[in-house]
Amino acid sequence: MLSMKNISKVFKTDLVETHALRDFNLEVAEGEFVAVTGPSGSGKTTFLNIAGLLEGFTLGDYFLDGVNISNLSDNKSAAIRNEKIGFIFQGFNLIPDLNLAENVEVPLRYRGFSAKERKRRVQHALEQVGLAARMKHLPSQLSGGQQQRVAIARALAGEPRFLLADEPTGNLDSMMARQVMELLEDINKAGTTIIMVTHDAELARRAQRNIQIVDGQVCDFTMYQGGEGYQSGEGHQGGERTNEKPHLVTESRASVNQDKVAS
C-alpha cells in the first residue's frame, strides 16, 4: 500500500541544512492502523506530509498503491490526495465560513462529482459520524469533538483508502478523544488504512502497529495484537512494553518489513 525506501528530506537555508528525515524506510500494508510516535521535532509531521503528498522529498523512493510518487505533477498529486487520501488534523482545519455539509462537500467538488452524488456522500459521511442532523450548522457552533468528527466525515466522504491523522485527539478532552479514537477504529475495521501521529501512548497502544521516529529515522516499531500484547523491534525504548520478547527481526535499524511481521 505505502512503501518508503531511503527517503531523505533536507530543509535548506542559507546557513543551515536540517535533515528532517534520513534514510527513512517504512512499509504499510492495506488495512493497517499504524500509530506514529516520537518526540517533538523528530520528523513525524514531515513524514506525514510526505506520505500525504503535501511535501516533496530530497532523496529516496515512495510508492503509494504501486504508483511512484517521486515525480508527479501537481495536478496528479492533487488528484491522488483527493481520491486516495483523507486528512485529519489536530486543529480540525474546517473552513469556518462553510457549514458542515459544505465543508464535507469540498473534496467532492474538486473530484467533479454531480450535485446529487455529492449530496448523497455528504449525508452518508455525516451520518457515519453522527452529525447528519446538524449539517447546516457552522463549525463555530460545534464543540471540538464534534468539529473533529466533521473533519473525519470530510476525510471519509471521498471514500479514501488511506487516512492520515496528525494528532487527531490533540485538542480534545479525554472523553471526546476516546470517541474520536473509536470512530477511527471503526473506520479501520471497515478497511481503510490509517496512519496516525500521536503523542498519546494510550491511543498509540490501540493501533495495530506503533512506529517511533527519532531524529528522522524509524527507530522502533511495535506490533500490538488486539490491543493486548505487542511485538517490538530493535531500539525499542518503551519501559512498560519490555515484558514480552519481540518476534520481529529487522534487517536494518530503520526498516519494517511487513512480510516478516506477518510470518
Partner 1 sequence: MFFYYLDLAWRSIKKTPFLSLLMVLAISIGIGITITTLNVYQLMSVNPAGERSDKLLAVQLWSQGKDAWKEFNVQLTYQDAFNLRKSDVPVRQTAMFVTGLALQTEDPDFAPMLETVRVTDSDFFDMFSVPFIYGKAWDKSVDTEAVYQVVINESLNKQLFASENSIGRTLFLDSKPYQIVGVTQSWSPSPLYPDLTTGAFKDAAQAFVPFSLAPIEEFQSWGNNQSWKRESINNYSQRLNSEMHWIQYWAEVQDDKQRDEYAQWLQRYVDQQQLLGRFESPEAAAQLSNVEQWLEVNEVVPEDNKILVGLSALFLIVCLVNMLGLLLAKFLKRAPEVGVRRAIGASRGQIFSQHMVEVGLIGFCGGILGLAWAWASLFLLSSRFDLEKSLTHLDISMWFIAPVIAIFAALVAGTYPALRICSTNPSVHLKSQ
Interface residues with partner 1 (CB under 8 A)? 45, 49, 52, 54-55, 74-75, 77-79, 81-83, 86-87, 89-95, 97, 106-107, 109-111, 154-155, 158, 166
Strand partners, 221: 211
What's the length of the chain?
A: 263
Q: How far is the CB of 96 from partner 1 (least distance, A)?
A: 8
d(CA 142, CA 103): 13
Provide the 3-class DSSP secondary structure of residue 83. helix
Nearer to partner 1, 84 or 209 (CB): 84
Q: Which three cell numbers stand for residue 257?
A: 518489513
Q: How far is the CB of 85 from partner 1 (least distance, A)?
A: 8
Q: How far is the CB of 163 from partner 1 (least distance, A)?
A: 12
Nearer to partner 1, 25 or 45 (CB): 45
Helix (H) or strand (E) segment spanning residue 258: helix 258-262
d(CA 245, CA 252): 18
Nearer to partner 1, 82 or 192 (CB): 82
d(CA 216, CA 228): 28
* C-alpha neighbours within 13 Å on the C-beta side of residue 260: 15
Nearer to partner 1, 74 or 240 (CB): 74
Cβ–Cβ under 8 Å, residues 180 and 172: yes
Q: How far is the CB of 80 from partner 1 (least distance, A)?
A: 9
d(CA 145, CA 179): 8
Q: How far is the CB of 197 from partner 1 (least distance, A)?
A: 11
Helical axes 100-111 vs 144-157, angle rounded to 10°: 20
Q: How far is the CB of 83 from partner 1 (least distance, A)?
A: 7
d(CA 37, CA 192): 20
Nearer to partner 1, 52 or 233 (CB): 52
Nearer to partner 1, 63 or 110 (CB): 110
